[in-house]
């Protein structure tokens, strides 16, 4: 999946927590949301120089939290795991490391309980 296809698919399936997502779909979407977040935080810093208000960044984060959780869940499904494993992020430091390792694993080459192999 290309960068543009990933963004389009993730936003058009905003709340789709079932199914599977390949590594490219997941990582392209995460890169896109991170880049937009960085740009918005720079704009926020330029607009609100004397305060720590990052209103554009907060609005962006709230807008993309559901699709990020959805694609993260589909990515975990792709390796045969439960999407609920994303709750590991609540464990400081170790949780995100475990999730990155899981998200980086290759797709299962066969159909699993979550659906067929993603394109």
Number of domains present in the structure of the chain: 1
Check residue 115 and give its pLDDT: 85
pLDDT at 109 over 90: no
In a domain, 118, yes or no: no
**Which residue range is the domain that position 38 belongs to?**
3-104
Spatial contact of 32 and 8, defined as CB atoms under 8 Å apart: no
Predicted confidence at residue 3, as pLDDT, reads 92
**Confidence at residue 49, expressed as pLDDT on a 0 to 100 scale:** 80
Domain assignment of residue 50, yes or no? yes
In a domain, 99, yes or no: yes
C-beta of residue 69 within 8 angstroms of C-beta of residue 88: no
The model's pLDDT over 36-86, given as tens digits with 9 standing for 90+, comes to 999 999 998 888 887 777 889 899 999 999 999 999 999 999 999 999 999
Q: What are the tens digits of pLDDT across the range 76-105?
A: 999 999 999 999 999 999 999 999 999 999
| 113 is a domain residue | no
Please indicate whether residue 37 or residue 109 has the higher confidence score (pLDDT).
Answer: 37
Residue 112 CB burial class (10 angstroms; 0-12, 13-18, ≥19)? middle
Q: What is the pLDDT of residue 4?
A: 92
75 contacts: CB under 8 Å, gap ≥ 6: 20, 21, 22, 23, 25, 26, 103
Does residue 110 form part of some domain?
Answer: no
In a domain, 76, yes or no: yes
Domain assignment of residue 13, yes or no:
yes
How far CA 116 is from CA of 5, 24, 45, 80, 90, in Å, comes to 19, 16, 45, 11, 30
pLDDT of residue 62: 95
Domain for residue 92, yes or no? yes
């Amino acid at each position: 999946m290309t960068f543009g296809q990933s963004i389009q698919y993730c936003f058009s399936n905003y709340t789709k927590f079932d199914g599977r997502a390949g590594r490219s779909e997941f990582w392209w979407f995460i890169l896109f949301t991170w880049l937009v977040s960085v740009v918005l935080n720079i704009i926020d810093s330029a607009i609100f120089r004397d305060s720590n208000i990052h209103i554009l960044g907060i609005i962006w984060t709230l807008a993309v939290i559901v699709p990020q959780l959805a694609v993260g869940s589909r990515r975990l499904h792709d390796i045969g795991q439960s999407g609920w494993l994303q709750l590991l992020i609540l464990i400081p430091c170790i949780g995100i490391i475990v999730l990155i390792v899981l998200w980086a694993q290759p797709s299962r080459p066969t159909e699993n309980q979550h659906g067929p192999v993603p394109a």
